[in-house]
Amino acid sequence: MGMTDRLRLGLIGYGYWGPNLARNFHQLPEAALVACADMDAGRLNEVGRLYPSLKQLATDARALIENPTLDALVIATPARTHFALVKQALEAGKHVLVEKPLAMSSGEARTLIECAREQRRVLMVGHTFEYNPAVWKIRELIQEGALGKLYYFYSNRVNLGRVQTDVNALWSIAPHDISILLYLMNQMPETVAARGVSYVSQGVEDVIFALLTFPENVNAHIHASWLDPSKTRQMTIVGSEKMVVYDDVDPEAKLKIYDKGVYRRGDAFGEFQLRVHSGDIYIPKIDLTEPLRYECAHFLECVRENKPPRTDGENGLRVVRVLEAAQASLHQNGATLPVA
Amino acid sequence: MGMTDRLRLGLIGYGYWGPNLARNFHQLPEAALVACADMDAGRLNEVGRLYPSLKQLATDARALIENPTLDALVIATPARTHFALVKQALEAGKHVLVEKPLAMSSGEARTLIECAREQRRVLMVGHTFEYNPAVWKIRELIQEGALGKLYYFYSNRVNLGRVQTDVNALWSIAPHDISILLYLMNQMPETVAARGVSYVSQGVEDVIFALLTFPENVNAHIHASWLDPSKTRQMTIVGSEKMVVYDDVDPEAKLKIYDKGVYRRGDAFGEFQLRVHSGDIYIPKIDLTEPLRYECAHFLECVRENKPPRTDGENGLRVVRVLEAAQASLHQNGATLPVA
Amino acid sequence: MGMTDRLRLGLIGYGYWGPNLARNFHQLPEAALVACADMDAGRLNEVGRLYPSLKQLATDARALIENPTLDALVIATPARTHFALVKQALEAGKHVLVEKPLAMSSGEARTLIECAREQRRVLMVGHTFEYNPAVWKIRELIQEGALGKLYYFYSNRVNLGRVQTDVNALWSIAPHDISILLYLMNQMPETVAARGVSYVSQGVEDVIFALLTFPENVNAHIHASWLDPSKTRQMTIVGSEKMVVYDDVDPEAKLKIYDKGVYRRGDAFGEFQLRVHSGDIYIPKIDLTEPLRYECAHFLECVRENKPPRTDGENGLRVVRVLEAAQASLHQNGATLPVA
Amino acid sequence: MGMTDRLRLGLIGYGYWGPNLARNFHQLPEAALVACADMDAGRLNEVGRLYPSLKQLATDARALIENPTLDALVIATPARTHFALVKQALEAGKHVLVEKPLAMSSGEARTLIECAREQRRVLMVGHTFEYNPAVWKIRELIQEGALGKLYYFYSNRVNLGRVQTDVNALWSIAPHDISILLYLMNQMPETVAARGVSYVSQGVEDVIFALLTFPENVNAHIHASWLDPSKTRQMTIVGSEKMVVYDDVDPEAKLKIYDKGVYRRGDAFGEFQLRVHSGDIYIPKIDLTEPLRYECAHFLECVRENKPPRTDGENGLRVVRVLEAAQASLHQNGATLPVA
């Protein structure tokens, strides 16, 4: 593939996550990363040195948005800036990949979806776990019924360090869990209840606990925090026949599938009996390709073939709707609220 | 110590936990385990074979309560039977060690405390974690201020197998967490909010999530369940200066003390700055003596010296009050309720 | 089973391992533990208190050997005393279960085998890993060819604490590895080479490394030491098709079976190609019954039914022959020696 | 730093390790990676795409050696090619960083040292663990005597996959262990004994066990293999006062320092007593910067400042001398041989 056939990309935001996007797009032969914007001149300098292919370095995102030679923009800026930047980019005719969350309200998200539709441009949200082979495997297990009747999920996504002062742990961390859960369940939760506590910065919850209730009494509990001694990205899925522990930071055993379960069974006399079984554990081999690479490749493919991404605007909107309901619950002291 | 000087004990209930009590009292030279009651003749047969010192084996607990040669009774029966058995035992003039929870309501618990006072008998509740050297060490760290400003606790106490059909996971599992938390905080929570879900038996919550709020914005989250692939007994304590992970099933590293923290500090210009530090980890050597042994020895000592146990009736009542408020919250869909 | 039908046992040695034997035989309804000897009066006192069924407590083993009412003796004394005690016990007409190693030389071991044959008594050696369900499972995998061509074993059996001053780590620790290896391979090694180093007591090797070579280029490396920070009991088995890690101290994953391997394969053109595969991991459920319980029950069964134990004198002799060759190699600076 | 001030580097070999060198030098502002050679045109294509700064891509290393605009060459080719390539590069006036081992014999290594001296060029060997902060910390502990009397080291460096058919596991894997040991001990071993076994390719040992004996009865055992189910890079250091486990693949606890030990102490009566202690565990915070980055930066600094590298030719020679003696021992069936 010649240089001229490659999609010309600009990256807006080279902070925490931007370097990962830059690295992945740089490695993909289908893309040419030719422009980058960041408000910090030091960061710009750094990215320019690492990627000599960058022709345009700007401290103002507008410079990239207005550059007519760019096909697509990748936006990795703070959450509160997503709406305005994505809107401008789409209106300037760019395809857009934006980091999660898509926007800070469902109203904003709908506006962006509408805008992408009008402009006939690809709008994709960086829900990276939907490009993770371990998550694919769990979905496969659920869909083929291997876990039996689904009981509940619980997720622990905590670590120390990335303390935010603008958005809380719900909007910063929990989008990952919500995106995974919607993907695995293939439906929306009926209700959400969430609680959070601020320790470091007043009004910004450092720790949140949320409970999502799906149809048929399937529940999912999320614990997200940036005040924790250890980096943990663990989700447990409990079914009546099998249980799965998904530990995203364990390279050898990302998934452990336990042949364990409890269920009630009616016997010949109309009585119910409890059956508990506990058997082998199975650790399937999981493709260890970086999920972000699949995500980036998928974006390029969607732009090239003009097809809707798996994590399109509608997908991003669904996550925002759950976040929005959870945020309302936070403000109402943990009330159980319907997902609008 | 001669046989005649030893405290003469009867054990009521030789089911799941009774064997541990029997084994520990048998190993303590100050006690003579001479009687046992269990409704199941097979269990009685078994205990009689293992402990030839048992002179009395009965399927009816009354036989032990009415045996005038017994000094004390150890009660390890289902939670709903505690109140009646403890009351009868105290009224018959026996000292009593009863498994947690003390009773199923604070009213019952108060009646038992009053009864013990009138009979001048020792009433002790088997809150075994208050006899656990790892828990002692955490209390020491908190009391000397080593953790800085306390932020929050979270506890995960789950496993597969002991599915109950009479009491829910709150009354069956969470008494451990509540007892540990009250001991560590040395005060009562102001409010409790709890949610639970039943999967296996209608009306009996298999999984519960509870949030306790203590004064000065210290919070504690409890996740208890008997539907889980792995046995987990883990509590994390997050402070502004240090963080502790207490893993009760890790023999080499029961406690990990992380020199990690985040806090805000005012600078000379009246501005606030975030400080994040992340340093060494320290694993203190913890006495691995079985906590139940300390508990049993403490009971014998209290009876002998006529002194109030550390986990006396009042202690047991405090745990029941928290359970009671949590149960009310469960019924009110997770409402935040004061601990009466 | 009445008291009178039960086998009457005496235990000689209530030091490190004796308590485990006492506990297990006490729990087995087919046995009556009625006598115990130990040179230390304090230990005797302790065992007498814990097991009121003991009718005879003696500081001299001869008292038990000469007690005509005992059917069998269980010997858990220091290795150097095994030969004399077992010999006397057999000559006194007792069945014998003796801890490993059977004796300190193959000559002694042969004498004991001969003695048992003449007296028509059961002689069993406590090679407890041959009663371990995890080891049974490995043997099954090997025998059904699931691992492909066997390449090599390596074992790490180390910990801190039980520093010996009479026998070295070879005779104290490595009998376990050797017993496991002979059982798994179902044949003797052709040669042994061993090296060891003394750090704490002159002339007593605290650390040993040994290499056993079996037919068809199967090798086994043993590292045994009592100078180590962590308790480790791990053996890895490497085959051309599958590999197994056996971690005896991991309760959840005693065996991990890796679908991994490397082999050479001839192709259609007479060329050889290297095939490397790396797939799933499988953790079979392993029966967690204490292996010593199976061992003790097997001894009782062999005495009762007058049949040769799985770990009979011949089995014990084979282990001693390997130890003997390894000890000779130690003295010859690691020379490769045939197993006589 | 302008482009013109930067050291102009060529990389020979873009196979397994080359990409890591390319990435690290690319990230260092003091270097300009301008040329790369690899016999595989596909690899050349790949590296050219990832690093547009590369002006010269060649399938023949000679092209780089003869390029007068290059200041230094980084050689990451198979071990058997090191000698010829390094010699040519030095003779062409290039500074050289070569992967371990420096050469396949001490004669060759000496020739290269001499050549570098004559040409007044920097010759550095990529013994990357000598740039590893965890290893620095262990050396610090040893040098300040914190471990007490050193007893022994043992190292397990195994994994599956990089099966070699030209050099054996001794020359391919063990150079790491030897380099670490010489660095930690700051002296040469007196003798070496090694055994190895070939399973996959005749005459190429896949598995090796080696024992190095240092003065004062300090020993070090090395187990290296590429036939193993798990990637392990673990070294244990046992002293009379403290013990250290160095696990290079554990991100949270690279070093565990155990306050454990055993030693003999003379008492007032001239008797010796064994003291065993077992206390806390301490996990120091270790700088997680990639050691290769420190290594690459060190090479640049040495070239710029014309100073001898820490892992200079003499250092590389010492490792080769140990390898050479171990190889001779392999051929003599594990004989104990002096390190010449």
Query: Taking 90 as the threshold, does the pLDDT of residue D165 lie above it?
Result: no
Of A227, A236, A243, the CB nearest to B238: A227
A104-154 pLDDT per residue, tens? 999 999 999 999 999 999 999 999 999 999 999 999 999 999 999 999 999
Rounded Cα distance between C284 and C242, Å, is 14
Nearest CA distance, A84 vs chain C (angstrom) = 46
Which of B1, B5, B26, B233 should we substitute to test contact with C (largest number of C Cβ atoms within 10 Å)?
B26
**C: neighbours with 3+ CB pairs under 8 Å?**
A, B, D
Amino acid (one-letter) located at C37: A
Q: Which of C300, C186, A147 is nearest to B199 (CA)?
A: A147
- Put simply, the answer to whether C282 touches A284 (Cβ < 8 Å) is no
How does strand A150-158 pair with strand A218-225?
Answer: parallel
* Contacts within 8 Å (CB) and 24+ apart, C56-65: C56/C10, C61/C12, C61/C37, C61/C85, C61/C88, C62/C88, C63/C35, C63/C37, C64/C10, C64/C12, C64/C35, C64/C36, C64/C37, C65/C89, C65/C92, C65/C94
Closest CA to A38 of A75, A67, A79: A75
Q: What is the pLDDT of residue C3?
A: 52
Q: Which chain C residue is nearest to residue B23, measuring alpha carbons? A: C50
Closest alpha carbon to B111 in B135, B138, B74, B84:
B84
Cβ B336–A333 below 8 Å, yes or no? yes
Which chain B residues have a beta carbon less than 8 Å from that of C52?
Answer: 52-53
pLDDT at B272: 73
pLDDT along chain C (340 residues), means of 10: 77 97 97 97 96 96 98 98 98 98 98 98 98 98 97 97 89 98 98 97 95 98 97 97 97 96 77 86 97 98 96 98 98 95
A281-298 pLDDT, tens per residue? Answer: 999 999 999 999 999 999
A interface test, pick of B227, B245, B250, B257 with most A CB neighbours within 10 Å: B227
Say if residue D267's pLDDT is above 80: no
Residue-level pLDDT at D1 = 45
Q: Which of C47, C50, C160, C250 to mutate to test the interface with B (most CBs of B within 10 A)?
A: C50
Cβ-defined contact of C26 to B50 (cutoff 8 Å)? yes
**Residue B3 in this model has a pLDDT that exceeds 60:** no
Cβ A152–B193 below 8 Å, yes or no?
A: no
> How many other C-beta atoms are found inside a 10 Å radius of the C-beta of residue C140?
11
Q: Distances from the Cα of A132 to the Cαs of A72, A258, A300, B55, D193, in angstroms?
A: 23, 21, 17, 64, 48
Least confident of A162-171, B113-122, B283-292: A162-171
User: Which phi and psi angles does A70 have, rounded to 5°?
Assistant: -90, 135
Beta-carbon separation of C228 and D207 below 8 A: no
Q: Which residues of C touch D214 (CB under 8 A)?
A: none
- The chain A residue lying nearest C260, using CA atoms, is A285
Q: Report helix angle B41-50 to B18-27, nearest 10.
A: 20
As a whole-number percent, the residues of chain D with pLDDT over 90 amount to 91
Amino acid sitting at position A91: E
Nearest to D197 among C163, C217, C230 (CB): C217
CB contact, 8 Å: C229 with chain B? Answer: no
> How many Cβ contacts (< 8 angstroms) between chains B and D?
28
Q: Are A194 and A170 in contact (CB under 8 A)?
A: yes
Q: How far apart (Å, rounded) are the C-alpha atoms in residues A103 and A87?
A: 10
Q: DSSP 3-state helix, strand, coil percentages of chain D (rounded to 5)?
A: 35, 30, 35
When comparing pLDDT for B306 and A273, which is higher? Answer: B306
Q: What is the C-alpha to C-alpha distance for residues B122 and B116, in angstroms, rounded to an integer?
A: 7
Q: Give how far A320 is from chain B: nearest CA, Å.
A: 24
Other beta carbons within 10 angstroms of residue A50's beta carbon come to: 18
Asked if residue A113 lies in contact with residue A93, where contact means CB atoms within 8 angstroms, the answer is no
Which pLDDT belongs to residue A61?
98
The alpha carbon torsion through C284, C289, C292, C294 (nearest 10 deg) reads -90
Residue B211 touches partner A, C-beta closer than 8 Å: yes
- Cβ-based neighbour number of residue C274 at 10 Å: 12
Q: What percent of chain A has pLDDT over 70?
A: 98
Partner residue opposite C228 with nearest CB, options D199, D207, D238: D238
Query: What are the angstrom distances between the C-alpha of A321 and each of A102, A222, B33, D4?
Result: 11, 16, 62, 54
Angle at D297 between CA D292 and CA D302, to 5 degrees: 125
DSSP state of D199: S
Q: Which chain A residues are closer than 8 Å to C281 by Cβ? A: 252-253, 282-283, 285
Q: How far apart are CA A226 and CA A236, in angstroms?
A: 20
- Choosing among C45, C49, C233, C293, which should be mutated to test the B contact, i.e. which has the most B CBs within 10 A? C49
Q: What is the pLDDT of residue B264?
A: 81
CA atoms within 13 A on the CB side of D266: 3
pLDDT of residue B1: 45
- Whether the per-residue pLDDT at B165 is higher than 90: the answer is no
| Host H or E run for residue C324 | helix C313-331
**Cβ contacts (< 8 Å) between B2 and chain C: which residues?**
none
SS3 C209: strand
Q: Which residue in B27, B230, B252 is closest to C50 by CB distance?
A: B27
- Judged against a pLDDT cut of 50, whether residue A1 lies above it is answered with no
Which pLDDT tens digit goes with each residue over A28-48? 999 999 999 999 999 999 999
How far apart CA D148 and CA C207 sit, in angstroms, is 18
> Which value does ipTM take for this structure?
0.95
User: By the CB < 8 Å criterion, does A161 face chain D?
Assistant: no
Shortest alpha-carbon distance between residue B28 and chain C (Å): 9
- What chain B holds in terms of domains, given with CATH numbers, is 3-128+291-321 (3.40.50.720), 130-290 (3.30.360.10)
Alpha-helical regions (H) of B261-312: 291-305
Tokens, residue B198: 């039943």
Please state, rounded to an integer, the average pLDDT across all residues of chain D. Answer: 95
Q: Which of B221, B226, B258 sits opposite A229 (nearest CB)?
A: B258
Model pLDDT, residue C340: 78
Q: Is A132 helix (H, G, I), strand (E, B) or coil?
A: coil
Q: Distance (Å) from the C-alpha of residue D240 to the closest C-alpha of chain B?
A: 18
- Count the alpha carbons within 13 Å of B269 in the hemisphere toward its beta carbon: 3
Question: Which has the higher per-residue pLDDT, B242 or C340?
Answer: B242
* D280 contacts on B by Cβ (under 8 Å): 282-285
Which site among A165, A236, A250, A256 would you substitute to test the B interface, given the most B Cβ atoms closer than 10 Å to its Cβ? Answer: A236
Minimum distance, in Å, between the CA of residue B277 and any CA atom of chain A: 8
Taking CA–CA distances from B27, the nearest residue in chain C reads C50
Q: Note whether C92 and C119 are within 8 A (CB).
A: no
Interface of B with D in 256-295 (CB under 8 A): 259, 278-285
E strands of chain C, at which residues?
7-12, 31-37, 56-58, 72-75, 95-98, 123-125, 150-158, 191-197, 207-214, 218-225, 232-239, 243-247, 255-266, 272-283, 337-338
Among A49, A252, A288, A293, most D C-beta atoms within 10 A, so best to mutate, is A49
Distance from chain centroid for Cα B47: 25
Q: Is the Cα torsion angle B232, B235, B241, B242 positive or negative in sign?
A: negative
Coil, strand or helix: which one is A80? Answer: helix
- Structure-token pair, residue A62: 């507008």
Strand intervals (E) in B122-201:
123-125, 150-158, 191-197
> Does any CB of chain A come closer than 8 Å to the CB of residue B332?
no
**pLDDT band at residue A161 using 50, 70 and 90 as cut-offs:** confident
* d(C-alpha B141, C-alpha B155), whole Å: 18
D230 three-class SS: coil
Chain D residue nearest residue C242, CA to CA: D229
* Range name among B142-151, B183-192, D258-267 with the lowest pLDDT average: D258-267
Residues in contact with A102: Cβ distance below 8 Å, sequence separation at least 6, in sequence order: A82, A86, A108, A109, A112, A125, A313, A316, A317, A319, A320
| Residues from chain C contacting residue B230 (CB–CB below 8 Å) | 252
